Amino acid sequence: MLALLLTISNVINAQDEIAKVVASTENEDVIKAGKALFNANCAACHKLDKKATGPALRGKADKYDREWLYKWINNSQGLIKSGDAKAITIFEENNMSIMTSFPQLSHTDIDNILAYTSQPKPEPIIIESSIAEGGSGESGVSNNIILAALALVFLLLVVMLVLVNKTLRGIAIASGVEYEVKSRTPIWKVFVQNQFLVLVSTIFLLLIGGYFMFGFLMQIGVNQGYSPVQPIHFSHKIHAGDNQIDCNYCHSSARKSKTSGIPSLNVCMNCHKNISDYNGEENLAEGYTLDFYNGEIAKLYDAVGWDVDQQVYTGEEKPVKWIRIHNLPDFAYFNHSQHVTVAGVDCQKCHGPVEEMEILEQFVPLTMGWCINCHRETNVNMKDNEYYKKIHDELSKKYGVEQITAAQFGGIECGKCHY
Ligand code: HEC
Ligand code: HEC
Ligand code: HEC
Ligand code: HEC
Ligand code: HEC
Ligand code: HEC
How far apart, in whole angstroms, are the C-alpha atoms of residue 183 and residue 179? Answer: 6
Answer whether 416's CB lies under 8 Å from 333's CB.
yes
Question: 1 pLDDT band (50/70/90 cuts)?
Answer: very low
User: CA–CA distance from 364 to each of 217, 329, 349, 384 (Å)?
Assistant: 18, 15, 9, 29
Tell which wins on pLDDT, 334 or 139: 334
How far apart, in whole angstroms, are the C-alpha atoms of residue 322 and residue 293? Answer: 18
336-356 burial: b if 16+ Cβ within 10 Å, else e: bbebbeebebebeebbeebbe
How far apart, in whole angstroms, are the C-alpha atoms of residue 230 and residue 322? Answer: 6
Question: 204 pLDDT band (50/70/90 cuts)?
Answer: confident
Tell which wins on pLDDT, 131 or 307: 307
Question: 129 pLDDT band (50/70/90 cuts)?
Answer: very low
Highest mean pLDDT among 167-176, 198-207, 347-356: 347-356
> Measuring from atom 39 of ligand 5, which residue has the nearest CA?
371
User: CA–CA distance from 197 to each of 150, 157, 211 (Å)?
Assistant: 16, 8, 21
The residue-averaged pLDDT of 49-78 equals 90
pLDDT of the residue at 341: 86
Residue 135 has pLDDT above 50, yes or no: no
Question: 144 pLDDT band (50/70/90 cuts)?
Answer: low
Residue 195 phi/psi, 5° resolution?
-65, -35
- Which atom number of ligand 5 is nearest to the Cα of residue 416? 29
Residue 414 has pLDDT above 80, yes or no: yes
> Measuring from atom 11 of ligand 3, which residue has the nearest CA?
239
Ligand that lies nearest to the alpha carbon of residue 408, given by its number in the listed order: 5
372 lines ligand 6 (CB under 6 A): yes
pLDDT of the residue at 158: 75
pLDDT of the residue at 218: 55
275 lines ligand 3 (CB under 6 A): yes
How far apart, in whole angstroms, are the C-alpha atoms of residue 368 and residue 209? Answer: 27
How far apart, in whole angstroms, are the C-alpha atoms of residue 17 and residue 181? Answer: 80
Torsion of CA 271, 275, 279, 281, to 10 degrees: 30
pLDDT of the residue at 170: 67
The residue-averaged pLDDT of 248-267 equals 90
Question: 71 pLDDT band (50/70/90 cuts)?
Answer: very high
Give pLDDT tens digits for 85-124: 999 999 998 888 899 899 999 999 999 999 999 988 766 5
The residue-averaged pLDDT of 76-93 equals 92
Ligand that lies nearest to the alpha carbon of residue 389, given by its number in the listed order: 5
How far apart, in whole angstroms, are the C-alpha atoms of residue 265 and residue 408? Answer: 42
Ligand that lies nearest to the alpha carbon of residue 370, given by its number in the listed order: 5
127 lines ligand 5 (CB under 6 A): no
How far apart, in whole angstroms, are the C-alpha atoms of residue 192 and residue 204? Answer: 15
